[in-house]
Structure 1
């Protein structure tokens, strides 16, 4: 893949969604362990303030631009990224491959009622894939029983929805216990698959207004939106210094 784009110390893959799907598909076929981070401005800002989390992101094999703010930041730096790659869309592409090839998938995280609905809907929409297992996200990070459960599943795809930075920490701390698997932190994607949160209509996504749709659906997210102008300011400042 082409060179990565460094935004405030976080190195994003210069890639399209289809290129990333193809890369991960190849990795699955080669049983190559892969750590994927879907990063938005919140994650970048957390990395600027949290050295431990920044080190975790350095261990990731791929960091994709899930957030229009990241795309804007790359443009400010005159190093534009090809496109935004929503984590939910990358996940759905991988589920489609899993359905076509009867791959084994594990779902870890979210609330118990959400994970159950997620698995039920996945079974309906992707009937040919294998559900290796699932578990809600309310457990201690070092819970050996959870780790053993995921290991026994021998899954090709492991989707972890614990919210950042917890999901990235879990993957970093445990990926060496496995010999294969695409490990991907997916945040709130289980809520979408479960149907408890609706994605923005296509026209909103085309206009890069999915963030606004989510805010209208979940007004409690407004505090998280404050991060965007701070992020943009920091990117501008980093450009002036370079």
Structure 2
């Protein structure tokens, strides 16, 4: 598969439908896959943390979850085809799971969030099998969680621990499982539960979903600084390589 290297992180050159087809085929063949949905914040963190960069290199698929990544790819003149939002990809995978009766495990978020989310999943995706779920606060009980996921024999494992924890957990434990698509999905459980709202479609089409998040959570402003720093670093890297 063609890749686009952005500051050392190799992104899949794919559309949402293409990566969905690839993952669907892996599910049908009982293959494993580690999927990272990466935005500029993740790329910048990887550039500061060699261990986390190694974790990303371990992934099978890294998709461009963030308009900043698309901008970066255009700056280096290797434009990625489109943004692939992690939440959208997760929902499409849930639709496939519902159609085919696949087994799904949900790991992460707060216990209260799961208590609201699981009944909604059962209503909206009645034919998928909830193979198990557990909140994200399990420090000291890692082995128990791994055993729980292993016994679930899930086709899809969504890990909502926030980065870098979710990717590190997947890398550390994926060899313990026989099959499954393992995907870090950040705060997506909150949206599924209804405790957080996603930006309206109009905002998403304009690629300003980040602004909607900032309005909802002004405390995120420090995290948003990663985008201009990321763009600056892309230009610096480009100039350095063009000499």
Tell me the TM-score normalized by structure 2. Answer: 0.98
Instruction: Tell me the equivalent position of 2:110.
Output: 111
Cα distance in structure 2, aligned partners of 1:235 and 1:29: 38
Q: Is the 8 A contact 1:24 1:182 kept in 2?
A: yes
What is the distance in 2 between the residues matched to 1:177 and 1:141? Answer: 18
> How many Å separate the matches in 1 of 2:21 and 2:136?
29
Q: Deviations over 1:61-117 (max 9, x none)?
A: 000000010010000000000000110000000000000000000000001111221
What is the CA distance between 1:142 and its match in structure 2?
A: 6.3
CA distance in 2, matches of 1:13, 1:140: 33
SS state at 1:191 partner: helix
Cα separation, 2, equivalents of 1:72 and 1:115? 35
* d(CA) in 1 for partners of 2:62, 2:139: 26
Aligned partners of 1:159 and 1:186 also within 8 Å: yes
User: Do the aligned partners of residues 70 and 114 (structure 1) sit closer, same or farther apart at CA in structure 2, a change above 3 Å counting?
Assistant: same
| 1:211 to partner: Cα distance | 0.4
Q: Alpha-carbon deviations, 1:25-59, whole Å to 9, x = none?
A: 00000111000000000000000000000000000
What is the CA-CA distance between 1:172 and the residue it aligns to?
0.2
Report the equivalent of 2:96. 97
Task: Give the CA deviation at 1:141.
Answer: 6.9
Q: Pairwise mapping of residues 230-241 of structure 1 onto structure 2 (< 5 A)?
A: 230-241=229-240
Aligned twin of 1:28? 27
The gaps in structure 1 that reach 5 residues or longer are none
Structure 2 portions without partners, runs of 5+: none
CA contact (8 A) 1:118 1:194 kept: yes
In structure 2, C-alpha distance between the alignment counterparts of 1:47 and 1:140, rounded to whole Å = 23
Equivalence for 2:180 = 181
| SS of alignment partner, residue 133 of structure 2 | strand
- What whole-Å deviation, never above 9, does each CA across 1:123-164 have from its counterpart, x for those lacking one? 111000000000000012761111111111000000000000
The answer (yes or no) to whether the contact 1:104–1:130 under 8 Å persists in 2 is yes
| 1:125 and 2:124 correspond | yes
The correspondence of residues 55-204 of structure 1 with structure 2, limited to 5 A, is: 55-140=54-139, 143-204=142-203
Q: In structure 2, how many angstroms separate the alpha carbons of the residues matched to 1:224 and 1:115?
A: 25
Q: For residues 65 and 141 of structure 1, what CA distance do their matches in structure 2 show?
A: 33
Cα distance change of structure 1 residues 40 and 141 upon mapping to structure 2, 3 Å threshold: farther
CA RMSD of aligned residues (A): 0.8
TM-score by length of 1: 0.98
Q: How many residues align?
A: 241
Residues in 1 aligned to 2:65 and 2:115: alpha-carbon distance in whole angstroms: 25
- The whole-number CA distance in structure 2 between the counterparts of 1:91 and 1:120 is 17
Change (3 A) 1:43 1:141: farther
